[in-house]
């Protein structure tokens, strides 16, 4: 494969929620062969890798985030031959494969836990976190993220086991070196199959306080008991960093592989904690998700300040990554009022920052959220905790390929209903319209893929007094690019002197424009129209 020696730094990565991407066998559920069928589209889009949400064998209490066999594909998605073919054909198309690994916990149907639960003398007992009752009650007051207490009583042994999420998701005991060795073998199984990397689910939770101290109380605007604790003893323990260093060393024995981690933090997030999991010397995770932009209001100054904090937190040794949407949060376009013009500005921000952009399937066509009705809920979390948690089905609806049933390619109903707009907003319609959001994404990705300054160059935000406008420069040794983003519906004047100073040249060329109309110039400025973004370079 020739695309980018440091592919995880330089290319755009595309997240697929496999249930919702493409159904190849007419059962209403997306699968691996469906993804194979859509590789040409992904190559056309210009992405360098796909991250697949969990596809391993699972009883699906949390739709795959409860793994019962790390080495087996769940029959819902296909089989091991299908993933082998996907890896091979994706590589032939210049696309890498990243698998979602859940390492904090397994399913309670995993053979390790089944053996562990047989009783205290079992060899696998210490693979999980078991504790005696304390004064006849639970070992401590830790809460589970999906509701209730984090401890489940086992009548066979008279002990409790820990589950940070559902009771069907018992936490592994990473203080046991045998667990680390076993997990590294599971990773090697896929690395030998030429998988290019792993996304690590809630990786900062894997080590718990050895003394099981209670978390302090936290004040907050929430009705969720989990959020009423400061999670200092059930996550972010210092031993986690040593484990990640060893994991990174293990991954690095294979050529050109990567680790990207989900770091679970409270809103509005703590970028410094997130950055710490890449290691002080960049020797832990290759990338770590900073979710600050998953709930920010769309304001220029807020975006700039948050980006600056992220860059400062990482320093020069660690590489940033950027994400606006994923399978757990409301899609960005919906957070921005379902307005495409705002989505265009957000997309240009995402694709012109220093670091690795992640796209969520359908983001490139402006797929929107819409909650399903109560009787349509599929998300186990929504079923269990409605109405306090409506579930995550809204952001997981089937990919909108065309006005007809192109997700299923049959008369069967998909596992979730299509978004009501799917007939007018879809890939087929947008491919036919060169001015569509999809073409904007594709064109900007193509520019990025061929532009050293945008892929790996430095970034500098420019100081100015123009309201609602972001101005920043991307620069490599040979190239300089100026990005102007208007976060307002009002026109804004950009002084020619600012452009000349940024580019080192009084003349400029437009490399990219989020709008189709011509640039309006005055004698000493250019006019940025409402929600317009420009990418400029020096020269006539």
My answer on whether omega of the bond before 204 falls inside 30° of 0, hence cis, is no
Backbone angles phi, psi at 517, to 5 degrees: -75, 160
Q: What is the 3-state secondary structure (H, E, C) of 518-536?
A: CCEECCCEEEECCCCEEEE
> How far, CA to CA in Å, does 335 sit from each of 298, 353, 374?
9, 21, 21
d(CA 146, CA 164): 8
CB neighbour list of residue 133: distance below 8 Å, 6 or more residues apart: 139, 153, 158, 159, 160
SS3 337: coil
Among 74, 168, 262, 304, the one annotated catalytic: 262
Q: What is the 3-state secondary structure (H, E, C) of 155-197?
A: CCCCEEEECCCCCCCCEECCCCHHHHHHHHHHHHHHHHCCCCE
Among 62, 180, 201, 369, the one annotated catalytic: 201
Q: Are the C-beta atoms of 386 and 351 separated by less than 8 Å? A: no
Q: Are the C-beta atoms of 74 and 83 separated by less than 8 Å? A: no
CB neighbour list of residue 302: distance below 8 Å, 6 or more residues apart: 296
d(CA 487, CA 278): 31
d(CA 10, CA 452): 9
Tokens of 396: 């997981």
Tokens of 307: 């980006």
10 in catalytic set? no
CB neighbour list of residue 287: distance below 8 Å, 6 or more residues apart: 8, 258, 259, 260, 261, 278, 319, 320, 321, 356
201 in catalytic set? yes
DSSP state of 415: S
Tokens of 445: 């990705």
Residues belonging to the active site:
201, 262
């Amino acid at each position: 494969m020739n695309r980018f020696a440091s592919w995880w730094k330089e290319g755009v990565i595309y997240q697929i929620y496999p249930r919702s991407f493409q159904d190849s066998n007419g059962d209403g559920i997306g699968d691996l062969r469906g993804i194979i069928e859509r590789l040409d589209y992904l190559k056309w889009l210009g992405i360098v890798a796909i991250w697949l949400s969990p596809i391993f064998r699972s009883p699906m209490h949390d739709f795959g985030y409860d793994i019962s066999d790390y080495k087996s594909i769940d029959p819902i998605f296909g089989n091991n031959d299908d993933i082998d073919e996907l890896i091979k054909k994706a590589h032939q198309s210049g696309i890498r494969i990243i698998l979602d690994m859940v390492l904090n916990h397994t399913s309670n149907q995993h053979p390790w836990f089944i053996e562990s639960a047989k009783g205290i003398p079992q060899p696998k007992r210490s693979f999980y976190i078991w504790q005696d009752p304390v004064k006849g009650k639970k070992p401590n007051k830790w809460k589970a993220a999906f509701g209730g207490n984090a401890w489940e009583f086992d009548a066979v042994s008279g002990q409790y086991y820990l589950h940070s999420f559902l009771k069907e998701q018992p936490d592994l005991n990473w203080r046991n070196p045998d667990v680390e060795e076993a997990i590294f073998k599971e990773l090697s199984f896929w690395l030998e199959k030429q998988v290019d990397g792993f996304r690590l689910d809630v990786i900062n939770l894997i080590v718990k306080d050895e003394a099981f101290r209670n978390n302090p109380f936290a004040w907050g605007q929430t009705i969720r008991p989990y959020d009423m604790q400061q999670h200092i003893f059930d996550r972010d323990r210092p031993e986690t960093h040593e484990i990640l260093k060893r994991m990174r060393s293990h991954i690095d024995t294979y050529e050109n592989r990567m680790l990207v981690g989900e770091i679970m933090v409270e809103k509005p997030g703590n970028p410094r904690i997130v950055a710490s999991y890449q290691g002080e010397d960049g020797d832990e995770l290759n990338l770590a998700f900073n979710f600050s932009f998953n709930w920010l209001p769309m304001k220029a100054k807020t975006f700039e300040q948050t980006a600056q904090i992220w860059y400062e937190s990482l320093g020069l040794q660690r590489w940033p990554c950027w994400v606006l949407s994923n399978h757990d949060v409301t899609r960005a376009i919906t957070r921005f009022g379902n307005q495409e013009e705002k989505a265009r500005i957000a997309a240009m921000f995402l694709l012109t920052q220093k670091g690795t952009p992640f796209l969520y399937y359908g983001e490139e066509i402006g797929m929107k959220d819409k909650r399903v009705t109560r009787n349509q809920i599929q998300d186990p979390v929504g079923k269990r905790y409605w109405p306090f948690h409506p579930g995550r089905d809204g952001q997981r609806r089937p990919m909108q390929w065309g006005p007809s049933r192109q997700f299923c390619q049959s008369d069967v109903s998909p596992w979730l209903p299509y978004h009501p707009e799917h007939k007018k907003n879809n890939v087929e319609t947008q491919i036919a319209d060169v001015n569509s959001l999809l073409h904007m994404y594709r064109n900007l990705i193509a520019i990025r893929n061929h532009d050293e300054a945008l892929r790996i160059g430095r970034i500098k935000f420019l100081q100015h007094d123009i309201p609602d406008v972001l101005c920043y420069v991307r620069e490599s040794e040979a190239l300089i690019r100026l990005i102007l983003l208007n976060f307002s519906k009002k026109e804004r004047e950009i002084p020619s002197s600012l452009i000349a100073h940024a580019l080192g040249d009084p003349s400029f060329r437009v490399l990219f424009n989020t709008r189709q109309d011509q640039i309006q110039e005055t004698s000493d400025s250019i006019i940025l129209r409402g929600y317009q973004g420009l990418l400029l370079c020096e020269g006539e």
